[in-house]
Amino acid sequence: MEQQVNAGDNVAIHYVGRLEDETVFDSTEGRDPFRFEAGSKEVLPVVSGGVIGMQVGEQRTLEVPPAEGYGEHDPALIIEIPTERLPDGTGVGDMLKDDGPAPRTWVVKSVADETSTLDGNHPLAGHTLRFDIEVVDIG
């Protein structure tokens, strides 16, 4: 019988991560496999636990609802600030780190003369994620 992934094993997978509309948001295609400890908290729990019992070469699709992924989209994390508080040269799409008591990365959504809009939600918040995975190595 072939070796199966057990909790605590170092496992390598290839994966494609997709949103509900099939948009690919991440993939190991053309890269080295992704390695992590099965059953650990290094990666999303659905993925970490989802490989347990799989064998090398086996493929599986894992679905991660928002509550088990990056959370629901929180409208309270979309804020407006005076544009003068932005670093010079900041533009739409730039990411700003807040090192305060609750560190967060903010994405600049709009820049105007008086106020600018920042979004503190993780880019994958509110999305159900689907990972097509293949175990390529155990150990």
pLDDT tens per residue across span 34-50: 999 999 999 999 999 99
pLDDT of residue 92: 96
| 96-118: pLDDT as tens digits | 998 888 888 999 999 999 999 99
Which CATH architecture describes the domain 75-119? Beta Barrel (2.40)
pLDDT at residue 1 tops 70: no
The whole-model pTM stands at 0.81
Q: pLDDT averaged over the chain?
A: 95
Q: What percentage of the chain has pLDDT greater than the value 70?
A: 99
Average pLDDT score over residue span 55-69: 96
pLDDT of residue 102: 81
Q: Which fold has domain 10-70+124-138?
A: Chitinase A; domain 3 (3.10.50)
| 70-91: pLDDT as tens digits | 999 999 999 999 999 999 999 9
Going from N- to C-terminal start, the domains of the chain cover 10-70+124-138, 75-119
Q: Which residues contact 120 (CB under 8 A, 6 or more apart)?
A: 74, 77, 78, 79, 98, 104, 105, 106, 107
